[in-house]
Structure 1
């Protein structure tokens, strides 16, 4: 998607829905300084969605869409689950894959885009739940890492199969009892961030979505690193408030509790030494660009 592609035809402008006209006027496509602060003013960052009221996944979706550095040339690959209910509402190209094969689809897509557009940056981002990522799709997830495919995998970890009634997943906490897992989880939560790093991911981040600036930084880091080095992985805690017995306004509190000292979602990052140096250089470059833009704006007044 891009500003050029969503322009209104003058002959049909008067009959186009007001929501589309608003998106054309206010979309952040092409804006290099776009970020989570644009949420609430830009239609393509999900003004409405079909998820449950207060769902943390809707928060995560907004932050991710606002954080991708190249929305005009980004393709999301989703999988069956709650996430698939949101993709029809977003203003970025996306593909719905079969349950679990999202990383295989993304592998072929990334390679095809590289051949079709050799001189243009095209980002592929996988977005799926814990069932599609670590259970049903674990083989294809890990094989893409082994092959060093250059795209980012994002897992919405709600620690169970939220879309189909609350079955146990590999990322569920030990001992947790769900509606369709009455015995309780008998083994520990799979340490997928550590496995991802050991399987060849060059940058890995695990966090909640309670702090938008952290999410934005992790997503940008992951995508930039995937372009230069290879596979990256981001695991976001997006609890299903219905399945864990919370009210619609309690999702944020749940995430804050999980990221507190000693909690299971205290933010952690893994990266190679080469990536660490690369991100330092990237941060320095961005600071210089912001400083220059600020000076230019001040001079124009």
Structure 2
């Protein structure tokens, strides 16, 4: 891992768009207390990213990127899906995996980093959609939990295969109809947050991204616990507003509504995780 990947070639700097230059010049590296309140003054993601207008995933990505306590020494492993569209537009180390094996790739990266840099903190974060984490990649996801890999897994749950036309997924709500699922979902939504608990995760949270400060708190807790104890899992509701028939400015209202029902805030931690979180709070990092 090298800081040079963030640096623009000086011979080309005058030709690079300003918002790309800002990713380097307005980054907040070396500040573990960074957070969403810094977003008005810092640069984490370019405005002309590839996600749809109003997509809640873009909000979630900005909050997560702003909340990483150690971005300069963090590797994000992503997978096929809507989330993969945005990673060319950030200035962090990212690895794109095949669809579904992102937790296996992340496990290998984490082990190599621990061997190569035994005296330095290197965080590995999986960030992918519900199709990659719960449907296609459930085996790799659970096996990383079973092995107690020290990685954080973040699932963007839009409850549909959004970038391939609107097929139902295991995360789709029972009875929901999509244009490529006209009969409606025939069984209940998979409770992945409970599966994560049963599979050995030490910190688990379920929430929407309607509250930036809550997202920041959850992401930091998950990463700090993963560093010291074992696997952590964060389940974020990021609805595909187009597939559920809403306008591009309706995403926030949709998430606020689900805050009161299916995605009311839920948090779980083991005693080991609670000990880490309390210590980090005392250090002023949460």
Q: Does structure 1 residue 133 correspond to structure 2 residue 133?
A: yes
Q: Distance in 2 between matches of 1:190 and 1:128?
A: 16
Secondary structure of 2:283's counterpart equals: helix
- In structure 2, the partner of 1:171 is 171
Query: Aligned match of 2:265 in 264, 267, 270?
Result: 267
Secondary structure of 2:109's counterpart equals: helix
Aligned residue-pair number:
286
Q: Distance in 1 between matches of 2:133 and 2:140?
A: 9
Secondary structure of 1:286's counterpart equals: coil
- In structure 1, the partner of 2:223 is 223
Q: Does structure 1 residue 210 correspond to structure 2 residue 207?
A: no
Q: Which has the larger radius of gyration?
A: 1
TM-aligned CA distance change 1:46 to 1:225, over 3 Å: farther
Secondary structure of 1:66's counterpart equals: helix
Q: Distance in 2 between matches of 1:224 and 1:195?
A: 21
CA contact (8 A) 1:3 1:27 kept: no
Matches within 5 A, 1:186-205: 186-205=186-205
1:65-96 Cα offsets, whole Å, 9 max, x none, are 00111000001110100011000001111011
- In structure 1, the partner of 2:243 is 243
TM-aligned CA distance change 1:136 to 1:23, over 3 Å: closer
Secondary structure of 1:52's counterpart equals: coil
Q: Distance in 2 between matches of 1:181 and 1:14?
A: 49
- In structure 1, the partner of 2:278 is 280
How many Å apart are 1:10 and its aligned residue?
5.8
Unmatched 5+ stretches in structure 1: 291-301
Unmatched 5+ stretches in structure 2: none
Q: Distance in 2 between matches of 1:57 and 1:10?
A: 33
TM-aligned CA distance change 1:201 to 1:9, over 3 Å: same
How many Å apart are 1:9 and its aligned residue?
6.0
1:102-140 Cα offsets, whole Å, 9 max, x none, are 001001111011111111111110011111111110000
Query: RMSD of the TM alignment (CA)?
Result: 1.8
Q: Distance in 1 between matches of 2:65 and 2:115?
A: 26
**TM-score normalised by structure 2 residue count:** 0.94
Secondary structure of 1:234's counterpart equals: strand
Matches within 5 A, 1:38-117: 38-117=38-117
How many Å apart are 1:192 and its aligned residue?
0.7
